[in-house]
Structure 1
Amino acid sequence: MYKKVERQAMYVWVYSMKWKKKLQHFGTIHYVSPKMKYILIYVNSSRAAEVKKELISKNYVKRVTMAHRKELDEHYVLKSDADKRDNLEE
């Protein structure tokens, strides 16, 4: 049976895009921006801190940041019609 694995997104800024292939070793490459020279990779959440530490030590990496998507609240509440009318009257 399929087991869901929690993943963490990381933005890796590099000096040159020729290092893109090297980053495949650390996780799944999701997006590449040649103009801004960053690569979005997904890694297992359990290894995220370890991978970040290892990436920072590489000489071809400028900066590594974690994506903040997990911190965002994805549950939205729609206002009822009465609330909308009250806001219009004010």
Structure 2
Amino acid sequence: MYKKVERQALYVWVYSMKWKKKLQRYGTVYYSSPKMKYVMLYVNSSKASEVKKELVNKKYVKRVTVAHRKELDEHYVLNNKKSDELEE
């Protein structure tokens, strides 16, 4: 049976994109931007803090940030004034 694994996205800014291949050992490289020199990396949520600490200590990493997508509310309600007037 398939078991869902919670993942966390990390944004890793590097000095050179040649280090992108090295980042694959820490998680799944989902996106990379050669122009802005960052890599979006997915790791298991349980190991995210450990991976972040490891990456910060690497010479080729400028900084590491955690994506805040899990903190956002994805349930939206549209409040249209025109639709409210029509219902009344």
TM-score normalised by L of structure 1: 0.89
| 1:44-63 equivalent positions in 2, closer than 5 A | 44-63=44-63
Taking the aligned partners of 1:11 and 1:78, their CA distance within structure 2 comes to 31
Taking the aligned partners of 2:34 and 2:63, their CA distance within structure 1 comes to 15
Equivalent pairs, count: 84
TM-score normalised by L of structure 2: 0.91
Stretches of structure 2 that go unaligned for 5 or more consecutive residues are none
| SS of residue in 2 equivalent to 1:79 | coil
Give how far 1:41 is off: 0.4
Give how far 1:6 is off: 0.3
Give how far 1:79 is off: 2.9
Partner of 1:35: 35
Structure 1: which 4+ aligned runs deviate by more than 4 Å? none
Taking the aligned partners of 2:35 and 2:76, their CA distance within structure 1 comes to 34
Taking the aligned partners of 2:79 and 2:4, their CA distance within structure 1 comes to 33
Could you say what the CA RMSD is over the residues aligned between the two structures, in angstroms?
Answer: 1.4
Partner of 1:21: 21
> Aligned letter for 1:51?
V
> Percent identity of the aligned residues?
75
Give how far 1:48 is off: 0.2
Taking the aligned partners of 1:21 and 1:38, their CA distance within structure 2 comes to 12
Stretches of structure 1 that go unaligned for 5 or more consecutive residues are none
> Aligned letter for 1:68?
H
> Aligned letter for 1:58?
K
